[in-house]
Amino acid sequence: MNEFDELPFEQNDSFNSDKNDVETLPFEEIPAKETVPTMMDDNNIIVLDERVRDIKPETKDAEPTLDSNNILILDPKIKDIAPKNSKISFKKPTIIIPVIAFIFVSILGMYLFVSNSHADTVNLIKIEENDKYGYIDTEGTVITRAKYIAGTDYYKGHAIVKNENNLYGVLNSKGVLEVPFGNYYYIGLFGNRYIASKQTRNGLKQALLDGSLDEVTSFKYDTISYAKNGIYLFTRDNTMGILNKEGKEIFSFSVDEIDSKKIDIDISPVPEDTPLNNRYAKVKLNDSYAIINIGTGNKVYGYTLEDIEVLKNNVFYIKSESTNENNTYIVIDNDKIKLKTSKYLRVRVDDLDSNIAIAINDDSSISYINLNNAEEINDNKNNSYSYGDGIVLEKTHDFSTNKDVYNIITAKGTIGLFDTYTPVTGEFYNNKLNVKLYEEKYNYVNTKGDLINNVAYDTTSEFNKEGFAIVSNNNTYGIINSNGKETVKLSYYNLLFLDEDISSLLSEEYKKKLFIYQDENDKYGIINSNGKTEVNAIYDDIEYITDKYPIVKVKYGGEDLLFNLAINKELPIKITTRDITIKDNYIVVGTSYYNYSGKLIYSIK
């Protein structure tokens, strides 16, 4: 349950916290991790040896001196006390010691610099005690005691908290109050931007802040609300409009007293790596519609009173008023209407970069449309066609050689062909086509129509996104890369791909390319793309419980365990429930919190 107040002026469920609650906190003291026993004397001086504690300085202003061995003496009475560790001794300095000390201090300083730099971005972990919230680190050390009536999870080194006076504050990565309570009337995380409001000389105003709490916009808006996909709606005086995540007003219009003052936006879903200036959305302004570029604000289509619906990959359609007529489909790319047609029952784009649209005709046949010229690629009814990965494969027949010829076609034209092999499915995957060489023997062709190597395989998988395929001969399995090179020798009883999302995560974030292998006893282990065994085959099963983090569930000896693929480590966590939640730096099993090494760091009381 979210006990945070709703965003002023807007109805939004921004505060994504599982029962997030949170008090007053001036600045927080961070308990030091105890590594060396220390004590304080009556003057608040740290005492490393208890025998020194009761020695009083000769005078209040006693100055430190050097003894004959160049040792700094804070008080002469300390000079003759032998070290507690008899192995410690002081010797006259030589030229080597200062050099070593200098190197040591330099290395130590660099280490602390790197460590502290990294620590600034560390996300602490929210805990709950007696309906109050605090934060611990990944070792379980309490950084901020549970004292807030509400608190969010950390995002990029910051967490929003509320005190018992219902005032908002923001903690930094060390659990210290970076933004004092009451500095903002409201602050909440929406998408990857904060919406904050505070009193200005022009009254209560709102602004967008980035993950570092720097202003993306000034505090000049009457309201800001989150739409989705990094897009925000705003009102400012007599103006309404749309902000992108960079704080740019990409669309605005003036309203007067008779206007209904209503604006909505619906964004076409596209791949995450699509540039902002090639993303489009339907805007509903009162009772009229338009299509705009959400990066630049350019209006590409409209205004119209006809309702516009949104599909993925920048495809839109206008509903037909008659059931006897087709809808009108609109495909947009680079601020141009690449296709506007009511010829087809349906139109879709599977690959945004392909410049090819797939259309279903009235007779249920399929047409492949080249968006560069709006012409059908498969216009020859004597040939057969298939499509995959942004590539059309055309099958024709050469009567002079009596061979089937396969043309490889993109929106740019024919880029390759082959006539010796037969496609297995007719669909390219990750720029490779699985082909049959002859009876029960297989290989792959690239987009030019060339075989990737000269080996005939008994079985061939499709290539994954990382550019690897699993192949076999004589019931032994191995791995080849996109160039056809064998990177894992064909010597395994069985090989399997990891889950696609987990595999991509390991490749991108941890630079690891891993595969599951199975031995003759049906036990599972892990190897890398070079054939090195990362984890021995000892597990009875591997189960995926998340597609965002490198944690899987394994079964060993009838027990369920968790395994961290990023460090190839079985975690010493007893799994007695299916209530498992994986976070970016900790794991919750039932009511217990563990770090990624499997250490128990907190239990809900």
Q: Is the pTM of this model over 0.85?
A: no
- How far is residue 299's CA from residue 97's CA, in Å, rounded to a whole number? 72
d(C-alpha 577, C-alpha 598), whole Å: 16
Tokens of 452: 């990737």
Q: Which two tokens stand for residue 597?
A: 């090494």
pLDDT at residue 574, as a whole number:
84
Cα 216 to Cα 293: distance, rounded to the nearest angstrom: 20
Question: Quick count: other Cβ atoms within 10 Å of Cβ 583?
Answer: 18
The SS3 call for residue 104 is helix
Averaged pLDDT, groups of 10, the chain, 605 residues long: 40 37 33 41 44 42 47 43 34 41 40 36 89 96 96 95 96 95 96 95 96 96 92 91 92 71 88 92 90 93 93 96 92 96 97 96 96 95 95 96 96 96 95 95 97 98 96 98 97 97 95 97 97 96 94 94 94 90 93 93 90
- Going by the DSSP 8-state scheme, the letter that residue 197 receives in this structure is E
Nearby residues of 169 by Cβ (< 8 Å), 6 or more positions away: 25, 160, 161, 162, 163, 177, 179, 180, 181, 182, 183
Q: Minimal CA–CA distance to 16: which of 197, 190, 211?
A: 190
SS3 of the chain: helix, strand, coil, percent, to 5: 5, 45, 50
> Do residues 490 and 455 make contact, with C-beta atoms less than 8 angstroms apart?
no
CA distance 104 to 99: 9
> d(Cα 341, Cα 333) in Å, to the nearest integer?
15
Q: What is the pLDDT of residues 57-96, one digit of tens each?
A: 444 444 444 444 444 444 444 444 333 333 323 333 344 4
Percentage of the chain beyond pLDDT 90 is 71
Pairing type for strands 132-136 and 391-398 reads unpaired
- Tell me what pLDDT residue 85 has: 36
Q: Is 3 helix (H, G, I), strand (E, B) or coil?
A: coil
Q: What are phi and psi of 534, to 5 degrees?
A: -90, -35
Segments making up each domain of the chain, as ranges: 498-605
What DSSP designation does 590 have?
A: T
pLDDT tens profile 365-412: 999 999 999 999 999 999 999 999 999 999 999 999 999 999 999 999
| In contact, 192 and 245? CB cutoff 8 Å | yes
**Residue-level pLDDT at 259:** 58
Q: Are 47 and 40 in contact (CB under 8 A)?
A: yes
Q: Indicate the Cα dihedral angle 460, 463, 464, 468, nearest 10°.
A: 80
pLDDT of residue 349: 97
Which residue do the tokens 């409209």 mark? 302
Backbone dihedral angles phi then psi of residue 55, each to the nearest 5 degrees: -75, 125
Cα–Cα distance between 500 and 504 in angstroms, integer?
6
**540-570 burial code (b ≥16 CB/10 A, e <16):** eebeeebeebbbbbbeeeeebbbbbbeeeee
Q: Are 175 and 144 in contact (CB under 8 A)?
A: yes
3-class secondary-structure state, position 599: coil
Tell me phi and psi for residue 99, to 5 degrees: -65, -45
CA distance 40 to 367: 82
Contact 67, 73 (CB under 8 A): yes
